[in-house]
Structure 1
Amino acid sequence: MGLQWVILSYVVAAEAALAIMLTLPYPKALKSRFVSLISLILQPSLFIVPFAAFQLLDIYWKNEHRLMCTGEICTAAERDRYDKSIYKAQRNAILCTAACLLYWCIYRICKYHKELSSMEEEEKRYKDQ
């Protein structure tokens, strides 16, 4: 069960690195090649959105069917275990949300750069006429 969270953690780290690399200033030629490379990677990496959504549904289902440990009958160890599971669920929900949000940010950054380059080309054509 922990492997899926490790994979999701690595994907979020990679997405964060790509988002940072996309926002750094580069020469125009290098930037356009880098954006086109990332755009090619975006379509196959779309799997992360349904994967993260499924993980969020799994967290929700487990939260709804979790045994509550709030009464006097719970020992301190059981209460600590319950609290730890709640914190892990919250961490994993943030991880899933971050994966979807970072994917969307990378997509929008790439789309912005493509639109900007097409506008620059159009402006260049109008100046040449």
Structure 2
Amino acid sequence: MGLQWMVLGYVVAAEAAIALVITLPSPKLVKSRIVSLVSLLLSPLAGVIPFAAFQLLDIYWKNEHRLICTSETCTAGERDRYEKSIYKAQRNALLCGAACLLYWSICAICKYYKKIQSLEEVEKKYKDQ
């Protein structure tokens, strides 16, 4: 299970880097090349959405079937293990949410940039007439 979370963590880090790169100010030619490259990468990266959804379902299932240790008969070690599993589940849920949110924001940024480019082309066409 740890490998899945490590992969999802790397994907989130890569998405954050991509979002940072496409939002940084740069010359139009460089920006258009970056956005076109990122747009090509969006289709293969779409697999992160079902992967994150599956991981969220896994977290939910484990939460529903977790042994609850709240009574006085629990030892300190059992209580610590229970709390640690809760913190891990919360961290992993945030990771899944971040993966989906970053993917959506990258898609939206690329869409808006392409729309701006098309509007600039239309404006240039009207100025030339």
For the aligned pair, the TM-score class normalised by the smaller chain equals over 0.9
Match of 1:32?
32
Q: Alpha-carbon deviations, 1:24-62, whole Å to 9, x = none?
A: 001000000000000000011100000000000000000
CA-based RMSD = 0.4
Share of identical aligned residues, percent? 72
TM-score normalised by the chain length of structure 2: 0.99
Q: Does 1:54 align with 2:70?
A: no
Equivalent residue runs for 1:79-118 within 5 Å? 79-118=79-118
AA at the equivalent of 1:35:
V
2:63 maps to what in 1? 63
User: Which runs of at least 4 in structure 1 moved beyond 3 Å after TM superposition?
Assistant: none
TM-score if structure 1 supplies the norm length?
Answer: 0.99
SS of residue matched to 1:71: coil
CA distance in 2, matches of 1:33, 1:7: 27
One-letter identity of the residue aligned with 1:2: G
Give the Å deviation of 1:80. 0.2
CA distance in 1: counterparts of 2:102 and 2:14, whole angstroms: 10
Partner of 1:127: 127
User: Which residue of structure 2 aligns with residue 74 of structure 1?
Assistant: 74
Q: Unaligned 5+ residue runs, structure 2?
A: none
- 2:94 partner letter: I
Equivalent pairs, count: 129
Q: 5+ unaligned residues in a row in structure 1: which ranges?
A: none
What letter is aligned with 2:107?
Y
**In structure 1, C-alpha distance between the alignment counterparts of 2:44 and 2:67, rounded to whole Å:** 39
Separation in 2, partners of 1:45, 1:28: 25
SS in structure 2 at match of 1:43? helix
User: Does 2:13 align with 1:5?
Assistant: no
